[in-house]
Structures are given as C-alpha cells and as structure tokens.
Amino acid sequence: MNSEASRETNILYVGSEPALPVERPETPPIYHSTANIIADMDDYDFASKGGKYYYCRTANPNRDSVAEIVSYLEHGEQSLVCASGMAAISTAILSLIKAGDNIIASRSIYGETIELFENIVKKFNVTVTYADFTDVKSVQAAIQPNTKIVYTEIIANPLIEVTDIDAIVQAAHNANALVLVDSTFTTPFAIRPLEHGADIVIHSMTKYFGGHSDITAGCITGSHIVMKKIYADYLLFGGCLDPNSSWLMLRSIRTMEMRVMKQFENAKKIAEALQQDKHVRYVNYPTLSNHPQHELAMKLMPKGCGAMLSFRVEDSRDKVNAFMHRLKIVKYLGTLGGYRTTIAHPATAFRNDFSPEKLLEMGMEEGLIRISAGAEDSADLIADFKQALNVFEEN
C-alpha cells in the first residue's frame, strides 16, 4: 500500500500481490489477466519477442499448457488453441491459401466446413473440389496443378466412412499439397494423423477433449515450419481460447483417456447389439465385419474406432420422433463426445442448409440416427435403445 496515496487510488492496488510465497500448487492457477506489467521499453522488447507473457491474445500460460499437452498427445511439434472447432478449421484453412489456389475436400466432411468453403473461402477466388475419399483414385483424379490443400476427416460424419490416410497423404504430397485432417471423431487415442504423414491435425476440442459438454474450443497441431505460417494470422483473427476455458480444458484432458477408451468400447457393443435388432436396417461402425472399410479401420485404428456410430430405421419422421421420446437414458443433443450417450438426427441438423436432394446424396435419410457413445454401463444403454426401437412395430 502506498501510504501517501488516497483511498481512491489505493483501492485499485491493495491486494494485488500474494501475502506469502506461492510455490508449486497442485492445480495450476487461472491467469485471467489480459496483460502483464512491463518494466520499461527494454522489457517490452524482450516480451514482444517471446521472452515472457505480456498480452493474453498473444500468449497465455493456461492456453499454452493446453497446447503443450495436445502436442504431446498428437506427437506434434507445436499447437495453437482456438475458441472453437470452427475457429481452428477456418484459421488453418485461411492461413494456408491464396487467390488462385485449389482445395480438394472429402465430400463427407462436417457440414459447416462445407459451408466455410462455399460461403467464405470461394469469395477469395479459391476453388474447392469435392471427392470420394474412400476411393483414392477419385482423389488423385481431382488433383490440379494449383491444388494446395487436401482436406479430410479420418472417420466421416454421419456415415462413419473411413479414409485411407496413408494413401491420401502419398497422393497429396506427390502433388506438393498439404494434408489437413480433422481428427475430432477419432482422437489421438485411435489414431495420430501426423504419424501417417499429415501436415496438420485439427480437433474440435468441444467434443472429446472437453468431454463434459461445457467448453467450446478447438486446436491446430503441426510442425514448427507449417505452424509458423498459421500463427501470425491466428493472432490477427483473434480466435484464441480464454484463460478460464483453457484451465477447464486442461482439467478435462487429464481424464480423457479413461473416458474415451470406455466410450470406444461402448460404441462397439452398441453397434453389435443394434445390428442384431430387427427394426434396424443397417449400422455404420468400422469394427463390424460388414463395414465397407472394416479391414482398413482395423489396420489404422487397432485400439478402437471411435465412439461415433449411426444406424438407419424406417424413414418415418413421426416414428423417429416417437423413438426419441421413448428413450429413458439417452437424450437428443446438438453436439457429441460428452461422457453421456446422446443421439442426433443428421437430416434435421442440416435441413436448413441443404436441399432434400442434397441431403439424400449425402446419405442423410429420414431414418438415419447418429449415436455418440458415452461412458455409462453398456447394458443399460443397449436396453434403452431396444425398448425404444419397439415403436417401429406400432402403426
């Protein structure tokens, strides 16, 4: 306290420093401050060159802790943590393209990524070509002299198609294009795309990394060389994660492996049970022997093929709604990856964004239901699905 200053001044300063030394707290503190006090111009020069923290958007201890553990899990050199999955996707894409470039994207990627390409990326005189990434020849045929990015997911939403990432990487790199992979559905516990030659891996951390449906975040991971190209634009776009959410994210990641491996196990058991149910026309999950990319999935992801699956029942809006109402444990939720099992209706999610013909082309029939498996007792979940499926016997 400054004894010469007035109360009006001291109230702004008293209590700013801890009364005792703070040494190695078991849980890291939250660094809410938007800026750190600078001693002088020399100190500012030191800080602005990366010598220490001085402004939250530039760098923050909580956000850097998350970036460190993401890089560890993905076996990457550097990570950037963003305010949402779409912030991560848009930052990575927009930082690596220029007018006249071409992007080749999987036809089965996340719907809002398609909207990003169609509504924003194309404004900058960048062309986007969609290809069937389950057919490497289709991707090779789509490559053009100006192709700079090949963009895919490992497991596609909502049909749970599997991409041969090794073959895609080879085709892209032969054309000197970068490979960007959205690995949200798979997580580092199923596959690490960088180890397969991908240049960038992206996650919507809102899903499995957060795992509790209470944090919105995203991340980008790659080599120092590629990430340097992204970092400057990342700062200007301003889509960095705030300190409080970063702290919550780090806490959530501590239990991620325990949660996710249980979710993988439950997804497999649910898929096997649904495939035996007479009300179900088909189930999309890679561990099932009749899945089109079963062998590929087993090679790429021997420890588990994710916690997402989908299945199709009768194409009746009324009966699908009745099925949802009859579920006792599982709830309809507009996200995925949480510790509780949820369902979603893909056609409804994108009904306002795509024509009925386009939805059918994308495989989103009225009877298609997507499941995000949680960590409950699998027997409880299977029983809940089975009793609700009886609605399809009723007139």
**What does the mean pLDDT of the chain come to?**
95
The yes-or-no verdict on residue 221 having pLDDT over 90 is: yes
pLDDT digits (tens, 9 = 90+) for 283-315: 999 999 999 999 999 999 999 999 999 999 999
Pull the structure tokens for residue 79: 């990570």
In this structure, the answer to whether residues 219 and 315 fall within a common structural domain is no
Pull the structure tokens for residue 317: 């809006």
CA dihedral 316, 333, 264, 72 (to 10 degrees): 140
Cα(200)–Cα(208) distance, rounded to whole angstroms?
A: 18
Residue 326 lies in a domain: yes
Percent of the chain with pLDDT over 90: 88
pLDDT band at 349 (very low <50, low <70, confident <90, very high): confident
Residue 395 CB neighbour total at 10 angstroms: 3
Residues constituting the chain: 395
Domain extent for 367: 256-393
In this structure, the answer to whether residues 191 and 220 fall within a common structural domain is yes
Phi, psi of 127 (to 5 degrees): -90, 150
Q: What is the CATH number of the domain that holds 301?
A: 3.90.1150.10
Cα(103)–Cα(120) distance, rounded to whole angstroms?
A: 13
Q: What is the CATH number of the domain that holds 202?
A: 3.40.640.10
Residue 70 CA from chain centroid, whole number: 12
The mean per-residue pLDDT over the stretch 66-93 comes to: 98
Residue 382 lies in a domain: yes
Which of 40-44, 66-70, 154-158 is predicted least confidently?
Answer: 154-158
Pull the structure tokens for residue 231: 């970092």
| Maximum Cα interatomic distance, the chain, rounded to a whole number of Å | 84
The mean per-residue pLDDT over the stretch 218-242 comes to: 97
Q: Report the domain count for the chain.
A: 2
pLDDT at 271: 98
Cα(133)–Cα(125) distance, rounded to whole angstroms?
A: 24
Contact 340, 211 (CB under 8 A): no
pLDDT at 193: 98
pLDDT band at 7 (very low <50, low <70, confident <90, very high): confident
In this structure, the answer to whether residues 241 and 130 fall within a common structural domain is yes
The yes-or-no verdict on residue 395 having pLDDT over 70 is: no
pLDDT at 157: 86
The yes-or-no verdict on residue 212 having pLDDT over 80 is: yes
Residue 191 lies in a domain: yes
Is the whole-model pTM more than 0.85? yes
Last-in-domain residue among 223, 251, 279: 251
Residue 46 lies in a domain: no
In this structure, the answer to whether residues 87 and 188 fall within a common structural domain is yes
Residues 6+ apart with CB under 8 A from 189: 256, 257, 260, 261, 264, 303, 304
Residue 93 lies in a domain: yes
3-state SS record for 197-238? CCCEEEEECCCCCCCCCCCCCEEEEECHHHHHHHHHHHHHHC
In this structure, the answer to whether residues 79 and 208 fall within a common structural domain is yes
pLDDT digits (tens, 9 = 90+) for 159-170: 999 999 999 999
